[in-house]
Structure 1
Amino acid sequence: MRRLLLPVCLLAAAAVVAACTGDPAPSRPGSTVDDNTTITVADSSEPASLNPVQGFAPYGSSRMYDGLLTYNAGRVLKPLLATGMPQPSADGKSWTVKLHERVLFADGSPLTAADVVAEYNAVLDPAVKSPLRPDFDMLAGVVAVDELTVRFDLSFPSPSFPTRLVLGIIPHTAAPTDPQPPGTGAYTVAGWDKGKQLVLGLNKHYYGLPPKIVKMTVVFVPDDTSRIARMKAGDFDGIEVPQQQAVAVAKFDNVRMVTEDSADYRAVSLPPGPVTGDRAVRLALNFAIDRRDLIGTALGGKGTPAYTPMPDSLPEFVDPQATYRFDRAAAGRILDQAGWAVGPDGIRSHAGVRAAFTVGYPAGDLDRKALAQAFATQLKAIGLDVAAVAGGSAGSAQIISGGNPFDPDLAVRSVLHTGGSANTTAYSDPAVDSALDTAHKATDPAARATAFRAAQRAYIGDPAMVTLAFITHTYAVHDNWSGSVAITEPAIHGPLTWGPWWNVETWTIR
């Protein structure tokens, strides 16, 4: 695990303030600089809903919601709302959880088994359309044994089922579509100005020690350049920083740079179509990309090469042979054999189809823009005409992200299995599905690991995308506080879940 704190020095900010005119100013009375009790941070994206049933903070670590279980800094599950770890039945087809007494939601209502039952049944209910439902295919039902005891009944044994119990719990009286139901976390929503900012205040019913930081304002700024400029101007106490800008941001006044390892991959999706849907093209692309050079060029060296979505943070499941060597000659031979011939202009074509496509990236995302441009540049060497474009058209290749350092089912199955919740390219391979299904239902740890490695070997022969790198998350944080603890992060991260703020309720004034 890697975490770096870099020294800071003083830079003037007047020019940046002028450049930021027109941006909405965050509500920041009594800022951290003045009294060390509030914090204002920026997030690159705004959640559509804060409801865990609708997919908010699916891996836990939310400011407002607690799960039955949570992860410690070593990514080991531990009880939170539960009094102890879930207890499996002898046949492994049910898990029993006991709840703490006298825990209250932010609205003052008590936590009971009815709340847990209602939430997980809502996830299973097709009418609710929870995006998490595919990840709970082993869950047949949930019942209250008594007021503070819950039993989860499974359709087949699933030793990894407790990883699903980090989902934040909401009251049974809350609608599963309510965008901001109360929770039991240290903070509660004090105000949400959609499109601008979300303000968190202390949950007066919180069962733990009150946090030192009593107010957290999260301002939504999707444009990287604007977010950096406003950090420099003093608007924010923390932001995520694009890799290539990290050195410059490290020079800002009173800033610590924090870097975290992650299971967050960046990849180019290869959707169905005459070019990116061709198996030979997909294989050739994976051989043609120099991932180490791309990481150095686009990410300032902050990342590790990736070939499948299986992260290095789950080493027992990684197949070290499931890689692509960097070999553009081999890529050319694959294309030649498939009939993609080089034309007079140096660009290949096959059956009248030119080997050209676009790779889209979110406007304002500097890292993804740099990746798309570096990817496009490298492919010219094998006769492909690829253009990096902001946004991209519907159905076009995109720079995508994902990843989970906690469980290989959630990290890989959801991405590569037919119909998986994160399968964005309609990918389907019988050999991959078979291996993933075996892993999904395996009760022996060794057999599970063997099946996941088999899935990776099957996948690299018929890839769905060009997985480029697992990126290092980089943040700039005001140096007023201490207490942030290193952890390997999932793709879902930021001020509201994970990021250096994942344990902000325990921070102390420096």
Structure 2
Amino acid sequence: MPIKFYRERKITSSISATIVLLAGSAAHAGDTEASRYGGSFTVGIPVFTICYDGSQTPFVPYVHHSVVDNLLEQDKKTGQILPWLAESYEIQNEGTRYVLHLKKGVTFSNRQPFNAAVIKTNFDNHVELGKLGKSPQASAYLAGYLGTDIVDDYTAAINFKIPKAGFLQALTEKPLGIIAPQTIADKTPEERCAEGVIGSGPYVISSIVEDQEVVLKSRQDYAWNSPNQEHSGRPYVDELVFKLIPESGVRVGSLLSNQIDAITSVPALDIDRLEASGSKLTTASFGGSVYSFFFNYTKPITADAAVRKAILTGIDRQEIIDTAYTKYDHPASGVLSTRVPQYTDQSSKLAYNPEASRKALDAAGWVAGPDGIREKDGTRLAVKFKYSDEADKAPLELVQQQLRKVGIDFQVSQVTRAELTLWEAPNKDWDIIAAPLTRPDADILLSRYHPGYSWWLGGQNLDPYPQVTSLLDQQTKELDPSKRKQLAIEIQDLIVDNAYAVPVREVASIWALAPNAHGLWLGLPGFPNFSDVWVDKD
């Protein structure tokens, strides 16, 4: 029996509970909706993406997110799957076939129509790019893809080899945002990266000046808004501008002097000054896998469960947050962030307990040497960790101090981005690496921990935890939400109980807006939406 879902799409006025201080669609004296239209909104960002096609890269995606729409959307408050370009859907053949009934009247900015053939063109292209190594995230969402059937002009059926319990959520992710057939037909992948894509979204790329700015123009005929959007129709502003401002002090100064309207990557030391000036902070934890340490299981030291468990309980997460981050950041309370529907609270298991670390190492035969660092069979308990971002220096040096107290030599060194990429590559000599990964769905566990999908396990040619792998295979096929969540909880508990990874902190998305700027909100997994932004005209 196929499962059918039909929901009315409506414009919601709810504000995400994860937003701590609203960036304000709240009206002020003299404000009317009509007065919000026109003008520009300028955003200062620290780095531009290396590719403006979000189907090929997930990094710094603000431009792509503003240009493309998705088939489905995730409620920014509850995580519920909502209709968007697909008005309804049916799950057939025990989760191996997804039938999408599409909205009529949607067009791309080049006036090409949106229909079922477009879905087939997009998904087929993602798979082909994946074979070339150019669309890793989008093609991973489509793993097991057999093809798309065009049932009629506005009905598409996507077929897979195996059940895909996370596929509906995947359709909300911007790597699967729908782009115009003209882009796919006329541009090489490299041209799409350099020039961006044509989408059906609220903005259109107007110009790109390398290492300076990207200018987007609003679509005056836009009429198929995200169900999360605060108003219907075209964006309030005529122009959305992203300016490259690498130095954090210059970004903050530009906001305080009203040269720009919003900034991201807000330094912890500037939070109080910004708030005192009347600037508004909008923040949310990213939905996905928290920033965690991952281990090279081909190395004897990091393959040792006692060492991993000693690291897990030997880190004081709250001290790291209090010392190196903002009041809007949070220590990890589990493998997943609190915004993932399948999250479970594991904070008691992640509590700082250096005595437990010492006991685990004692039992495993690691004996303290003259300088306090432990040794075993002539091997010093030393692990290497490399980083490239200057912002990571203080927290990592604090981890180094904390672990030294239990006898672990956590050696940190700063390298270039290129050197770090080489260090983290499969089959290389790394000991521990770290990163978050965004996706507010249990399938983020598949991406992170399954030997067949995880980049950090790539090249190790082993399965360090067959029980976890088996449960991962089960949860990705389980269509019953409650059963799937229970499987996800079992997986998370196994990961922490065996220290297969060490969760450290939730990564926060923090934005500051000038006092006269309004309307920015953070969706899931935590990226900003600029469809509702506006600036006071007086």
Assess same fold via TM > 0.5.
Answer: yes
Residue in structure 1 matching 2:435, options 400, 405, 409: 400
- 1:142-221 matches, within 5 Å, as 142-166=148-172, 167-175=176-184, 177=189, 178-179=192-193, 180-203=196-219, 206-208=222-224, 209-221=233-245
Going from structure 1 to structure 2, the CA distance change for 1:81 and 1:229 (only over 3 Å counts) comes to same
| 2:507 paired residue number | 471
159-168 or 389-398, which moves further after superposition? Answer: 389-398
Going from structure 1 to structure 2, the CA distance change for 1:254 and 1:447 (only over 3 Å counts) comes to closer
| 2:481 paired residue number | 445
Preserved contact between residue 106 and residue 205 of structure 1 (Cα < 8 Å): no
Residues 104-135 of structure 1: CA deviation (Å, up to 9, x unaligned): 21222222222210111222234343212223
Preserved contact between residue 73 and residue 485 of structure 1 (Cα < 8 Å): no
Pairs aligned (count): 469
- 1:77-116 matches, within 5 Å, as 77-82=81-86, 84-89=87-92, 91-116=94-119
Residues 270-304 of structure 1: CA deviation (Å, up to 9, x unaligned): 33535444332211100111222222222244333
220-229 or 341-350, which moves further after superposition? Answer: 220-229
Preserved contact between residue 255 and residue 513 of structure 2 (Cα < 8 Å): no
**Tell me, what secondary structure is at the counterpart of 1:174?**
helix
378-387 or 420-429, which moves further after superposition? Answer: 420-429
**Tell me, what secondary structure is at the counterpart of 1:219?**
strand
| 1:239 paired residue number | 263
| 1:41 paired residue number | 43
Going from structure 1 to structure 2, the CA distance change for 1:449 and 1:2 (only over 3 Å counts) comes to closer
Going from structure 1 to structure 2, the CA distance change for 1:387 and 1:296 (only over 3 Å counts) comes to same
**How far apart in 2 are the matches of 1:416 and 1:163?**
19
Residues 10-37 of structure 1: CA deviation (Å, up to 9, x unaligned): xxxxxxxxxxxxxxxxxxxxxxxxx961
| 2:450 paired residue number | 417
Preserved contact between residue 106 and residue 206 of structure 1 (Cα < 8 Å): no
| 1:21 paired residue number | none
| 1:54 paired residue number | 56
Residues 163-185 of structure 1: CA deviation (Å, up to 9, x unaligned): 12222111223237222120010
1:225 shift after superposition: 4.2
2:70 is aligned with 1:67:
yes
- 1:281-300 matches, within 5 Å, as 281-300=307-326
Going from structure 1 to structure 2, the CA distance change for 1:93 and 1:385 (only over 3 Å counts) comes to closer
**Tell me, what secondary structure is at the counterpart of 1:213?**
coil
**How far apart in 2 are the matches of 1:53 and 1:269?**
26
Q: Equivalent pairs: percent with the same residue?
A: 22
Preserved contact between residue 101 and residue 148 of structure 1 (Cα < 8 Å): yes
1:437 shift after superposition: 0.9
Preserved contact between residue 65 and residue 183 of structure 1 (Cα < 8 Å): yes
Preserved contact between residue 41 and residue 535 of structure 2 (Cα < 8 Å): no
2:485 is aligned with 1:429:
no
Q: Tell me which amino acid in the other structure corresponds to 1:80.
A: W
Going from structure 1 to structure 2, the CA distance change for 1:269 and 1:249 (only over 3 Å counts) comes to farther
Going from structure 1 to structure 2, the CA distance change for 1:266 and 1:245 (only over 3 Å counts) comes to farther
| 2:3 paired residue number | none
2:387 is aligned with 1:355:
no
**How far apart in 1 are the matches of 2:439 and 2:90?**
24
**Tell me, what secondary structure is at the counterpart of 1:110?**
coil
Going from structure 1 to structure 2, the CA distance change for 1:114 and 1:6 (only over 3 Å counts) comes to closer
1:90 shift after superposition: 5.9
**Tell me, what secondary structure is at the counterpart of 2:365?**
coil
1:433 shift after superposition: 0.5
**Tell me, what secondary structure is at the counterpart of 2:51?**
coil
**Tell me, what secondary structure is at the counterpart of 1:173?**
helix
**Tell me, what secondary structure is at the counterpart of 1:346?**
coil
Residue in structure 1 matching 2:397, options 366, 373, 387: 373
**How far apart in 2 are the matches of 1:52 and 1:148?**
25
Going from structure 1 to structure 2, the CA distance change for 1:100 and 1:263 (only over 3 Å counts) comes to closer
Going from structure 1 to structure 2, the CA distance change for 1:398 and 1:218 (only over 3 Å counts) comes to farther
**How far apart in 2 are the matches of 1:100 and 1:189?**
24
Q: Tell me which amino acid in the other structure corresponds to 2:206.
A: A
Q: Tell me which amino acid in the other structure corresponds to 2:39.
A: T
**How far apart in 2 are the matches of 1:404 and 1:339?**
40
Residues 351-410 of structure 1: CA deviation (Å, up to 9, x unaligned): 43322334333334x2x33321221121121122224433375144344222333x111x
**Tell me, what secondary structure is at the counterpart of 2:95?**
coil
Structure 2: where are the runs of 5+ without partners? 1-16, 24-36, 225-232, 425-429
Residues 459-486 of structure 1: CA deviation (Å, up to 9, x unaligned): 1243343211213332211222333346
| 1:136 paired residue number | 142
Q: Tell me which amino acid in the other structure corresponds to 1:305.
A: P
1:189 shift after superposition: 1.0
| 2:14 paired residue number | none
1:152 shift after superposition: 0.9
1:150 shift after superposition: 0.8
Preserved contact between residue 260 and residue 486 of structure 1 (Cα < 8 Å): yes
Going from structure 1 to structure 2, the CA distance change for 1:266 and 1:236 (only over 3 Å counts) comes to farther
